[in-house]
A and B are shown apart, each in its own frame.
Chain A
Amino acid sequence: MSSAVSEILKSPKANGFWQGAFRRFSRNKVSMISFIFILLLAFLCIIVPFLSSYNYATPDFANSLVPPGMTHFFGSDGLGRDLFVRSFIGGRITFEIAFAATLVVLLIGVLYGSVAGFMGGYIDAIMMRIVDVLYGIPFLFFSILLLTLFGQSLILSFVAVAAISWLDMARVVRGQTLSLRHKEFVEAAHVCGVGNWQIILRHIIPNLIGVVIVYAALVVPNMIVLSAVLSFFGLGVMEPMTSWGLLISDGSQNMTSWWLLLFPALLMTSTLLAFAFVANGLRDALDPR
């Protein structure tokens, strides 16, 4: 046995798909920096509210609308609350909504798309017609309708956001499943008498992970934007709790205190850009094409 072959046998996973993908991603500097930035920001959102001496909800009327400085890093709002703490607690809520909604989108979208694509025939046709119908409803109206109907709570606001965002995911997953459906390993499983559900869960979905991860990186910023838009309509997160959307909305009501708008807007913008770069890097790293 030649040394090259024994080398490969010793480390059978050395050239695995995921290692290659990880290497390609980590070589992409912009994506890597963006990824680290997001992690850092998420970390700050968790710890800043604990470390700061200010509370996000307690008003302090003596110090209202203080410009940014050493006492209040980002200034204070009309009720004298520290904007630095509020920005990060708002970031925490924003991230929570976005990630929870993305999870729901992934769950519904992947299951729906893979079932439709795998079953084919009239089941596929009906399922995709339903998706087409839902596409015809402008998403903003639909989520406002959902929030009007079921009242406002944090959980419902992300369910509403997710309920209308899984359509694209289902389409993407269906397309990918269609191409997997007649691959040899799926037919082999069929021949062995494996049931349809087992094939979908064991063989189809694991092969979709690459596409799904790339797409999920695009869904998260969309969810951030959508939940922020709902805040502009007075729906979703309620005072004294806050989110970036709510902070920007409040900030745009009071332009003379520019810091109320600028800091949350900068945080949100940089996060959205970072997600866009990460999604780009993931696509380059994971997309087989």
Chain B
Amino acid sequence: MIKFIFKRLLIAIPTMFSIVLLVFLLVHATPGNPFDGEKALSPEVMKQLLHQYRLDLPLWKQFFLYVNDLLHGNLGVSYKFIGQSINNLIFPDNMGGFWVTLRLASYSMVITVPLGIVIGCYSGLNRNSWFDRVVVASNMVFSAIPTIVTGPLMVLIFAVTFGWLPASGWGDGGFQSLCLPVLALTLAYLPTVAVVTRGSIIDVLNSNFIRTARAKGLPTSKVIFKHAIRPTLIPVVSLLGPMFAGVLVGAIVTEQVFALPGLGVLTTNGATNRDYNLVLGITIFGSFLTIIFNFLVDILYFFLDPKIKQ
């Protein structure tokens, strides 16, 4: 177990380091600096600015200092929001930034994963029933249509036409303003989870150990809950790693659609103001989350799949 975790860490750490190196070089090796382009600054002011943001040091020194900052959990300073650290922008004291994104992503994951597994199992157990056909068809449809289309259409239907829910904005962060965004995000991933579970349980039910369990005379409920569930979940868990990265990005797109004040708005602000450091910080933070989550999924996998232990 410890050896397994150690091995995974041994892969995760260099990966994270390479990502930081790559993205950092990409940002800092491009010609020009963030203070070009606006109204011409006098050479003294420019020099002062470059010095203040350490941009006058050689590249390797900048990188070294940046990694040093990262190891202390510090993502650096924003170029455009004067005097604000990026940590403060991503994790503000009040509701906003990453907290909004996290809330959106985790609510929809909490709905998507269990519900998807239940729906998938049910439709796999009742193969070719009308329910099963609906699940397969809706997977086809909803994996083709992105959130940027379903989101606004849902607003058009539920908010503008019927007026049941607020169209956009965070409001007081209550149930009503989160309802449509969470629904839009859930809709994008629920069918995938359901269909993967369905395929998995169909495979498992055809395998020998299930036949043996049935031949022993076990009741169907026991066959399913005692024997079939665990191997069914293995492919679903391996889906969760990439899905988390997807949900994170999906949450940001959803925020953009529903005008929620999360990471998405922050990224857009950074991009339109050409605030490299902010976009760099958010990118590295996102990669960090992705790698951490993949690591956790690997460990979960370890508990589910006895074959890894050998």
Which residues of A does B touch, CB under 8 Å?
Answer: 132-134, 136-142, 144-150, 221, 225, 228-229, 232-235, 245, 248-249, 251-252, 255-256, 258, 261-262, 265, 268-269, 272-273, 275-276
| A138 adjacent to B153 (CB under 8 Å) | no
Mostly helix, strand, loop or mixed at chain A's interface? helix
| A149 adjacent to B30 (CB under 8 Å) | yes
| A137 adjacent to B287 (CB under 8 Å) | yes
Closest residue on chain B to residue A139 by CB atoms: B249
Chain B contacts for A251, CB-based, 8 A? 152
Closest 7 CB pairs of A and B: A252-B152, A141-B283, A138-B286, A276-B144, A255-B160, A140-B249, A133-B18
Chain A contacts for B249, CB-based, 8 A? 138-141
Chain B contacts for A229, CB-based, 8 A? 146, 148, 253
Residue B271 CB within 8 A of the other chain? yes
| A149 adjacent to B155 (CB under 8 Å) | no
Which residue in B146, B270, B274 is a CB contact (below 8 Å) of A228?
A: B146
| A138 adjacent to B268 (CB under 8 Å) | no
| A232 adjacent to B144 (CB under 8 Å) | no
In the complex, what distance in Å separates the CA atom of A132 from the CA atom of B18? 10
| A150 adjacent to B283 (CB under 8 Å) | no
Chain A contacts for B18, CB-based, 8 A? 133
Interface string of B1-34 (1 = CB under 8 A from A): 0000000000000011011001100110010000
| A234 adjacent to B19 (CB under 8 Å) | no
Q: List 11 A-B contacts (CB under 8 A).
A: A138-B248, A138-B287, A138-B290, A149-B27, A228-B148, A232-B257, A255-B155, A255-B156, A269-B144, A269-B149, A273-B145
Chain A contacts for B16, CB-based, 8 A? 136
Chain A contacts for B49, CB-based, 8 A? none
Residue B112 CB within 8 A of the other chain? no
Nearest CB on A from B30, distance (A): 5
In the complex, what distance in Å separates the CA atom of A250 from the CA atom of B294? 36
Which residue in A142, A148, A276 is a CB contact (below 8 Å) of B271?
A: A148
Q: Tell me how many residue pairs across A and B have CB atoms closer than 8 Å.
A: 126
Closest residue on chain B to residue A264 by CB atoms: B149
Nearest CB on A from B257, distance (A): 6
Find the residue from A133, A225, A268, A273 having the highest chain B CB count within 10 A: A133
Chain A contacts for B243, CB-based, 8 A? none
| A248 adjacent to B291 (CB under 8 Å) | no
In the complex, what distance in Å separates the CA atom of A248 from the CA atom of B16? 36
Besides the contacts A149-B26, A232-B148, what 10 more A-B pairs have beta carbons closer than 8 Å? A137-B287, A138-B290, A146-B26, A148-B275, A148-B276, A229-B253, A233-B268, A252-B155, A252-B257, A262-B153
Known: A256-B160, A261-B153. A144 touches B271 (CB 8 A): yes
Known: A140-B253, A235-B271. A145 touches B167 (CB 8 A): no
Find the residue from A136, A147, A251, A262 having the highest chain B CB count within 10 A: A136
Chain B contacts for A255, CB-based, 8 A? 152, 155-156, 159-160, 167
Known: A225-B146, A245-B148. A145 touches B156 (CB 8 A): no
In the complex, what distance in Å separates the CA atom of A252 from the CA atom of B156? 8
| B23 adjacent to A137 (CB under 8 Å) | yes
Residue B197 CB within 8 A of the other chain? no
| A136 adjacent to B287 (CB under 8 Å) | yes
Nearest CB on A from B283, distance (A): 4
| B160 adjacent to A258 (CB under 8 Å) | yes
In the complex, what distance in Å separates the CA atom of A256 from the CA atom of B282? 35
Known: A140-B249, A148-B271, A221-B144. A261 touches B156 (CB 8 A): yes
Chain B contacts for A133, CB-based, 8 A? 15, 18-19, 22
